[in-house]
Amino acid sequence: MAFKGAIEVDTQKCKGCSVCIANCPTGSIKLSDMVNSKGYHYAEMTGEGCIGCSNCAVVCPDSVITVYRVKI
Amino acid sequence: MTGHKQMKDMSISIEEIKKPENRIYGKPSLLTDNVMHYCPGCSHGTVHKLVAEVIEEMGIQDKTVGICPVGCSVFAYNYIDIDWQEAAHGRAPALATATKRLCPDKYVFTYQGDGDLASIGTAEIIHACGRGENIVVIFINNGIYGMTGGQMAPTTLIGMKTSTTPYGRDPKLNGFPLVIADMIAHLDGTAYITRQSVHTAPAARKAKNAIRKAFEYSQKGIGLSFVEIVSTCNSGWKLTPVDANKWMVENMFKKYPIGDIKDILK
């Protein structure tokens, strides 16, 4: 059984600390080239590798990540 | 599953995954929508979330009273939707003692940093442990005074540079770090003492279990529960959040090893 996941980032609240990136086992998060209204490069999902493990959301200090997952 | 079906399912789009029924993790509803004032990557935010999750899962929102400290987490009452009281600097265990004795059915916890608990509030925490108050103490130990500009704290490591020890902490001049959790483990009034961290997802999940256990113990009337979270202060340490986590693992964990220190029910 495999899982496929996706994350949604509250871009206005994200402070771009990158702790989620360091904790992602599949390298599916990167900092955006864009900035939010506070000037932070916010986190965003990249590629199709997300498995919905929630590690990024658990360590997110500002709780801006919502995780979705489906069985495939 | 046939190869054909697998091919079909593998092509599921990101938009199709992002449906409410597929949501498995997100911000706990007890956390308010206020943007936290903490620096990017600060461990305080993660611990706030864990506390909110524990209170939500135990269903004790109406029965929980938090005591705010003085320090970076002085505004904790803005972020978790429960009853709070604000204590004078270091006096959170004293206020928690009064709250718990007057309202014994409430879950009472203090949330304190190392400047608050280990320095100005040393007397309060030690005597609260000595009396065996049935409260939870959540202790954020990052070895520095974060709010006031990164000065040396009692928990600062030997050789660690802060704004008041620019050449590193020198034991001849500044003394040795206080290891509060080990100190209070010798007191009979403490029931559960543990040291955790939140730098990785597994560590954060363990810390959450420890916080939940501490809340459960506080209603058993067996003494004080103490959860120390070894944390980072990337602004005070002058490191990026990710480098601060690495520095913590390499240096802080030697002096403050992770794990349970005391559990009288084991």
The answer to whether residue B13 sits within a structural domain is no
Q: Is the pLDDT of residue B9 over 80?
A: no
Q: Is the pLDDT of residue B8 over 70?
A: no
Share of chain B above pLDDT 70, in %: 96
Q: What is the pLDDT of residue B3?
A: 46
Q: What is the pLDDT of residue B18?
A: 93
With tokens 């409260």, the residue in question is: B135
Angstroms from A67 CA to nearest CA on chain B: 5
Looking at residue B190, its amino acid is: T
Angstroms from B174 CA to nearest CA on chain A: 32
pLDDT (tens place) for every residue of chain A, 72 residues total? 789 999 999 999 999 999 999 999 999 999 999 999 999 999 999 999 999 999 999 999 999 999 999 998
- CATH classification of the domain holding B251: 3.40.50.970
Q: Of B57, B75, B255, whose CA–CA distance to B66 is shortest?
A: B75
Angstroms from B33 CA to nearest CA on chain A: 10
Residue partners of B127: CB distance under 8 A and separation at least 6: B93
Q: What is the pLDDT of residue A72?
A: 85
B201–A4 CB contact, under 8 Å: no
The answer to whether residue B9 sits within a structural domain is no
For residue A70, give the nearest of B17, B41, B245 by CB distance. Answer: B17
Q: pLDDT tens-digit profile of B148-186?
A: 999 999 999 999 999 999 999 999 999 999 999 999 999
Chain B touched by A70 (CB under 8 Å): yes
Q: pLDDT tens-digit profile of B61-71?
A: 999 999 999 99
Chain A CB contacts of B205 below 8 Å:
58
How much helix, strand and coil, in percent to the nearest 5, is found in chain B? 45, 20, 40
Q: Of B237, B247, B42, whose CA–CA distance to B149 is shortest?
A: B237
User: How many independent structural domains does chain A possess?
Assistant: 1
Q: pLDDT tens-digit profile of B218-266?
A: 999 999 999 999 999 999 999 999 999 999 999 999 999 999 999 999 8
Establish whether this prediction's ipTM goes over 0.90: yes
Q: What is the pLDDT of residue B1?
A: 45
- CATH classification of the domain holding A64: 3.30.70.20
Distance between CA B140 and CA B138 in Å, rounded? 7
Q: What is the pLDDT of residue A58?
A: 97
Domain with B173, as residue range(s), is 40-263
Centroid of chain to Cα B104? 23
Chain B CB contacts of A13 below 8 Å:
35
- State both tokens at B112: 């304190």
Model confidence at B10, pLDDT cuts 50, 70, 90, reads low
Chain B CB contacts of A41 below 8 Å:
none
Crossing angle between the packed helical segments B201-218 and B43-58, to the nearest 10 degrees: 50
The answer to whether residue B68 sits within a structural domain is yes
With tokens 């360590």, the residue in question is: A59
The answer to whether residue B28 sits within a structural domain is no
Chain A CB contacts of B4 below 8 Å:
none
Work out the mean pLDDT of chain B and round it to a whole number.
94
User: How many independent structural domains does chain B possess?
Assistant: 1
The answer to whether residue B33 sits within a structural domain is no
Domain with A32, as residue range(s), is 3-71
CB pairs under 8 A between A and B: 107
Q: What is the pLDDT of residue A1?
A: 75
Q: What is the pLDDT of residue B12?
A: 85
